[in-house]
Amino acid sequence: MSEPPRWIESERVWAITRYRDAVALLKSDDVAIVEAASHLQMLSDRMGKNAFPNLIRLLGTSHPFQNGAAHRDAHLAIRSLIGSVQRRWPPDPIDRLVEELLAPALDGAAMDFVPLLSRPLPATIAADMLEMDVAIFHRSTEASRRISAIWHRDTLALRDLHALESIATDLVALLEGTFGGAREFDYAQIAFLTLAGASTTKGLLEGALYVLANDLALQQTLRSTPSLIPAFLNEVLRTRPPLRRIIGRKTTREIELRDSVLPRSALLMIDLELTQRDGEVFPDPDRFDLHRAGPPTLAFGVGAHACLGAALARVTARVTMERVLRSAVVHSAGEAEPAVDPDWNEFKTLPLKFELRTDS
């Protein structure tokens, strides 16, 4: 149940679970990304040595989600990259790639759709955006995801920071081997985009396939009325947001909400799974409703914290669902295994089976 902001001592964050609170904070000029690189530099200086050079290199200007010259530069550079990939990947090429990836499943055998479709599809598109080999893209994604643990709380033990520095060192070496003379600023962008550029789309695809496989009537509704597919994806984003929570945000001054006051420098954890099932905003919130009216999903953020690749993710998911529904009836082929991750809502395995349609 959604409730006023509450302090979670174990994580040292303020948990935000009401939709209106989340929107107000994400739109506020007084909520900013945590400047982890600045903190690490000060800590390194106090230690009297250059203790975390590669973490600082990767974290320095990697996020466009706030004001300031460096972040505006990152925002513009990332928007330009995404614009270029959208021009190279309009719906038709995406559809051809989906068709190619789905081909092994068309004989009706049970298959795990994580390695078959949800992992390679967005990674192929994002790797093309960054001019990276897909295998290297996956390695960078995994390293960047592990480094993102730095935003889970306001302080980390030195041993954890040294472990993350080791991962960052390997990632910088990987990027240097791939891109050669790219500027440090570019490495920060690349690390950010290999994490964010495919993970959200992957989670959206898996959530949509899981819902479809467990609701044959819903499949038939969407098949007969494809114009409802965007609404279907909106409900998937609302009920199964690919990013479980928005972390790494901090208040820059005291902020008053409806019945609460958040102190200055409060570290925030915006729980998207709960905010998007807030009964004050979404009546009967646990019901999957293709015709649901109401405010937009927060799955891609809002305001300065909005995902720059949201439109591409939506197009990729829509085209994939159209191809899947045209081709086959989707059935569950076993127990799906959720991935154990506090931040990402995705599957470790998603066994499905295609029954080819004879009425297409």
What DSSP string runs through 127-153? HHHHT--HHHHHHHHHHHHHHGGGGSS
Task: List pLDDT tens digits, range 26-37.
Answer: 999 899 888 888
Q: Which of 348, 342, 350 is nearest to 146 (CA)?
A: 342
162 domain residue, yes or no? yes
CATH, residue 169: 1.10.630.10
What is the CB neighbour count within 10 angstroms for residue 102?
A: 20
Residue 118: the pLDDT is 98
Task: List pLDDT tens digits, range 153-205.
Answer: 767 889 999 999 999 999 999 999 998 766 655 788 888 888 888 999 999 99
Q: Residue 21, Cα to own-chain centre: how many angstroms?
A: 21
Residue 285 has pLDDT above 90, yes or no: yes
- 80 pLDDT tier (thresholds 50, 70, 90): confident
116 domain residue, yes or no? yes
Query: How far is 10 from 154, CA to CA, in rounded Å?
Result: 11
Q: Which of 64, 41, 26, 54 is nearest to 270 (CA)?
A: 26
- 313 pLDDT tier (thresholds 50, 70, 90): very high
Task: List pLDDT tens digits, range 197-253.
Answer: 899 999 999 999 999 999 999 999 999 999 999 999 999 999 999 999 998 899 999
Question: What would the two tokens of residue 155 be?
Answer: 């302080």
Residue 315: the pLDDT is 97
Residues of the chain above pLDDT 70, percent: 94
Task: List pLDDT tens digits, range 123-159.
Answer: 999 999 888 999 999 999 999 999 988 887 767 889 9
127 domain residue, yes or no? yes
Q: What is the mean pLDDT of the chain?
A: 91
Residue 260 has pLDDT above 60, yes or no: yes
Residue 360 has pLDDT above 70, yes or no: no
Residue 74 has pLDDT above 80, yes or no: no
- 64 pLDDT tier (thresholds 50, 70, 90): low
Q: Where are the alpha helices (DSSP H) in the chain?
A: 19-27, 36-47, 53-59, 69-88, 91-102, 113, 120-130, 134-147, 158-179, 184-213, 216-224, 229-239, 272-275, 310-327
1 domain residue, yes or no? no
306 domain residue, yes or no? yes
Residue 297: the pLDDT is 94
- Looking at the 3D structure of the chain, how many domains does it have? 1
Q: What is the 3-state secondary structure (H, E, C) of 51-107?
A: CCHHHHHHHCCCCCCCCCHHHHHHHHHHHHHHHHHHHHCCHHHHHHHHHHHHHHHHH
**Residue 195 identity (one-letter amino acid):** L
- 98 pLDDT tier (thresholds 50, 70, 90): very high
147 domain residue, yes or no? yes
Radius of gyration of the chain (CA): 21
The total number of residues written for the chain in this structure: 360
Residue 190: the pLDDT is 85
Is 0.85 topped by the overall pTM? yes
Residue 95 has pLDDT above 90, yes or no: yes
279 domain residue, yes or no? yes
Residue 34: the pLDDT is 84
335 domain residue, yes or no? yes
Give the domain extent around 240. Answer: 6-356
- 306 pLDDT tier (thresholds 50, 70, 90): confident
